[in-house]
Structure 1
């Protein structure tokens, strides 16, 4: 199917959805408006339910269904894939009704809205690695579930919140390990070691603790901090003997040494190597000037170079590159 056909279908569907919205009867009573909103929720018509619940709250702010409408508005926004609106509605309900009998439900829906915030259209159909994405929403969800379980430990929603917290904690720890590996590839070993230590200290009982110890060991080895590296390695061997970085009890770095050779040297399997590292105090520019001077000197005819008048020898090592470039005029 061509793209223009898909666009046409999308436009027609949007037009039909907009045209299907009937104007809300202003003469509906509070009970009738609430019943219609409940019917929309039962039929999964969450957008229409949001409209009716907002109208109910605005028309009858002190009615018998006002508080219940505010609570169910959170659910309608959540089911309508509006996580920001759901969180805002939950925060408003908690602020206005902190002693409500069902305020724990508001905390739970607020956590769920953040939990599902990163689950977009692509992640529903493609195997995306959630541990490599921005953990902002996951961190918010964890904190919101933590508030629920600490304030209302006997809530009917607390067991599910605790299970989600375990998943979120593992996800946050794995994200820190991904960041540490990135630092390793950039040779930022101090930052990598700090990330690994952060996981070990703050995410105990998660699968990423072993990875944190491996990152610390490798980073400390690169930093030649032998004592810290050995301590991390012994802890890794003791607690995670089957970790992928251990082979027959020996530590094998997960990040291979980066090949700093040029692309030409890699393509020719080292037959054509690049220039050797510069000695201290020299630059590529000074080497180029010396090379140009030597080329110019080689082009001088032999008869002139071997003239009757023999010039005194000059120690070339004692002259600067500027002297070479000006042929000694300003010596």
Structure 2
């Protein structure tokens, strides 16, 4: 009995050492994994929505195998994983890192598209996914960033597989940015700042042609000129509004583009499954 009692602490110590490694060094089960193995496991964790573990494996792959297609692909996948994990700042930072390291890479268009998509989704509030909200009422900061990101993509890579979706999102963003300016003009009207309201309305008419906001901007402009006592200018604006309405030149709101699935697997980018 005494022998059993004296051996028990040694057994517990052995188990503890096995779990923590010798002298407190934690055992890394991935230590001998190849680049392909790390990438496959990271992709599997991403598919299972285990984002933290996926990023851990991707980062280990980059650290151990910094050269080659798997490492390059991992950098894009890290950006995508942060996007999926609702970590916009980290996603944009990872995409920017890829753009900086591989500016001539044939898949850099994806990095620009992902940046735009992250900012696009940041411009849409959480509640908007469940409750209809006027996007033009929000701060346009992220929407402007998204518009710029998509603009770079369309300008530099007009034939990209992501270009058409980017163009559609730009139309939607541009319309909302114009509506935001109209909302500001209406705010000025409520505050009695009629000249500021007229200037904002004119800005929309001049800079955001072919958006649904132009019709509203003309309405604000008429009210502002009327309040300022500029009857002739108000009449001119009214005439332009009526003529365009009769001709059916005003367009309706651009529908919000639907979410598109983003290719992220290695064969989608580098065709590593091909011999």
Secondary structure of 2:192's counterpart equals: coil
What's the counterpart of residue 99 of structure 2? 94
1:39 match: 44
Q: Distance in 2 between matches of 1:27 and 1:201?
A: 63
Q: Which residue of 1 aligns with 2:23?
A: none
Indicate the RMSD between aligned Cα atoms, in angstroms. Answer: 1.9
On the 8 A contact 1:30/1:63 being kept in 2, the answer is no
Q: Deviations over 1:245-288 (max 9, x none)?
A: xxxxxxxxxxxxxxxxxxxxxxxxxxxxxxxxxxxxxxxxxxxx
Larger RCO of the pair (alpha carbons < 8 Å, separation 6+): 2
Which protein is richer in helix relative to its size? 2
Please say if residues 30 and 38 of structure 2, whose CA atoms lie closer than 8 Å, have aligned partners that are also in contact: no
Aligned-pair CA distance for 1:192: 0.6
Cα distance in structure 2, aligned partners of 1:119 and 1:212: 23
What secondary structure is seen at the aligned counterpart in 1 of 2:122? coil
Q: Name structure 2 gaps, 5 residues minimum.
A: 1-26, 249-275
| 1:302-331 C-alpha deviation (Å, 9 max, x unpaired) | xxxxxxxxxxxxxxxxxxxxxxxxxxxxxx
2:95 and 2:114 in contact (8 A); partners too: yes
Displacement of 1:96 in angstroms is: 1.0
Residue of structure 2 equivalent to 1:117: 122
Please identify the structure whose Cα radius of gyration is greater.
1
Q: 1:158 aligns with which of 163, 171, 178?
A: 163
| Aligned counterpart in structure 2 of residue 179 of structure 1, from 167, 177, 184 | 184
How many matched pairs? 222
Compute the displacement of 1:140 (Å).
0.8
Q: In the alignment, what sits opposite 1:198? A: 203
2:142 to 118, 137, 141: 137
Give the whole-Å Cα distance in 2 for the aligned partners of 1:150 and 1:175.
25
Do the aligned partners of residues 23 and 235 (structure 1) sit closer, same or farther apart at CA in structure 2, a change above 3 Å counting? farther
With normalisation by structure 1, the TM-score equals 0.63
| Aligned 1:270-289 pairs, distance under 5 A | none
